[in-house]
Amino acid sequence: MGPQVSDELAYEPLEVLLDELAEYIAIPSVSRSATTETMREAAAWVARQLEFAGGRVVETDGFPLVRADWLNAPGAPTILVYGHYDVQPTGSRDEWDTDPFEMTVDGDVVRGRGVTDDKGPVFIVLKLVQAFIAQRGGLPLNVKFLIEGEEEIGSPSLPSYVRANAEELAADLVISADGAQWRPSEPSLSTASKGLVTLDIVANGANSDLHSGRFGGTVANPVHALSTILASLHDDNGGVAVDGFYDGVDDIDDVRRAQIAAVPFDDAEYMASLGVSELFGEKGLSTLERLWERPTLEITGVTGGGKYSVIPHVATGHIAARLVGRQDPEGVVSAIERHVKGLVLPGIEVEINVDQARVPAYRIDADHPAIRAATAALNHVYPGEDVLLAVIAGTLPATTLFEEVTGAKTLFFSFSTADENLHAPNEFLRTKRIPEGLRAWEQLWTLLASGPHALVPNHVMTGATR
């Protein structure tokens, strides 16, 4: 933590903050399985925190979202704060050391479902704005809030809501409280996230499962055919062997290569943490270069038949392509379709079913004022530590949506860390991230409002106080 400066905000003691966060964690807002009633309860909890800004629960076709606007800083830039109040399923309770909905302090961390994804990081912003209002009577910026309840199920209702309310949501910058810092050893900012298309490849054979003896050798086996298809997607060197897949992917230039090489990263430690004897991927590239700068085509699942003697009538492979640079999701889908159609598979009919969501890669320039301000804010909280510029190798569809609809870039500014068991049992948050996050958001907003890193306000203010 940086030096305490007299004009900084004062926050409630950590114990008080944790008691309040525990209340929020206790609402089991698991978007995959909760009732609408439970989801509304969580949304209402957030809306109450934003009462001073007209916080309200807004119904959608799915679970409600929370909206609020504080637009009383004329001439100042406008930001949109994004986050989510829904959480992942707990999985088997047996794998948790404590009740996932009863937040528990354990040494330097708090444990519970949602503490780091994304209730804890959103909670930090809620407490920040309350401190500003209480101690300063207002915020340094105009701030809009959009906290959704469907992030963990792919945000199905978000696009239509954002498109229908584009003007109301207009902002100079989106700041996402979702999206974790890369690792605990140093502060980092992400300047890119990967795009995503997912699809299923289905190999169909006979009209029903056939006895593997009484029909074996006479008809094509869909699992054989699927294996041939899946094996053909990569070359022996770990590259994707689909013609046209790499269209729009630039070679890593020397500057970027040097930047990445300067990031301390230990392959041996990484291997040990994953329990593998060897890393694997495109030849001639370092692990971080592959992870951050290169697109991938992973088979995320495969299914067909079982442990009984049949020639299955159908076999399915699930594919997830993570995109970078200017890769066009439609172009990637077409390339995969052309590749599969080019294979000779007698007696098998292949279908390719592409999922609806097609997310291009996202990037914010390292020179963007938001990155410069965020770097300065982190430098203030973590003095003497270099801020790494990392990449979120996952996909955050909301960022692309906001850019497409409102033109605003997104800054990821989360005080979650990627190793905190997101989506897994025993999800935790390093407790110190709460005071660090409060101070960092405070600095960030102050820096974005005025001074050398200030945003240039472009957007007409809209909303309640217009």
Residue 387 token pair = 């801020």
- Closer residue to a copy of itself, CB minimum distance, 234 or 326: 234
Which H/E stretch holds residue 57? Answer: strand 56-58
Q: How far is the CB of 43 from a copy of itself (least distance, A)?
A: 25
Q: How far is the CB of 386 from a copy of itself (least distance, A)?
A: 22
How many CB atoms within 10 Å of residue 408? 22
Q: How far is the CB of 296 from a copy of itself (least distance, A)?
A: 4
Question: Which single residue is written with the structure tokens 């006479």?
Answer: 218
Q: How far is the CB of 334 from a copy of itself (least distance, A)?
A: 21
Give CA–CA dist 396/359, Å, rounded: 9
- The answer to whether 336 and 298 have CB atoms below 8 angstroms apart is no
- The Cα-based distances of 363 to 18, 93, 376, 391 in angstroms read 34, 38, 20, 9
Q: How far is the CB of 202 from a copy of itself (least distance, A)?
A: 12
Question: Which single residue is written with the structure tokens 């969580």?
Answer: 42
Q: How far is the CB of 115 from a copy of itself (least distance, A)?
A: 18
- Closer residue to a copy of itself, CB minimum distance, 262 or 276: 276
DSSP assignment of 388-419: EEEEE-S--HHHHHHHHHH---EEE----BTT
Which H/E stretch holds residue 20? Answer: helix 14-25
Q: How far is the CB of 325 from a copy of itself (least distance, A)?
A: 14
In angstroms, the first-to-last Cα distance of the chain is 38
Residue 151 token pair = 């992030």
- Closer residue to a copy of itself, CB minimum distance, 276 or 464: 276
Residue 285 token pair = 């590239």
- Closer residue to a copy of itself, CB minimum distance, 221 or 410: 221
- The Cα-based distances of 109 to 27, 124, 125, 388, 433 in angstroms read 20, 15, 19, 23, 9
Q: How far is the CB of 7 from a copy of itself (least distance, A)?
A: 39
Look at strands 428-430 and 310-311 and give their pairing.
Answer: unpaired
Q: How far is the CB of 315 from a copy of itself (least distance, A)?
A: 6
- The Cα-based distances of 291 to 173, 198, 279, 316, 326 in angstroms read 27, 18, 12, 27, 17
- Closer residue to a copy of itself, CB minimum distance, 108 or 235: 235
- Closer residue to a copy of itself, CB minimum distance, 27 or 332: 332
Bridge partner residues of 428 (DSSP)? 111
Closest CA to 434 of 136, 125, 131: 125
- Closer residue to a copy of itself, CB minimum distance, 81 or 340: 340
- Closer residue to a copy of itself, CB minimum distance, 309 or 458: 309
- Closer residue to a copy of itself, CB minimum distance, 307 or 466: 307
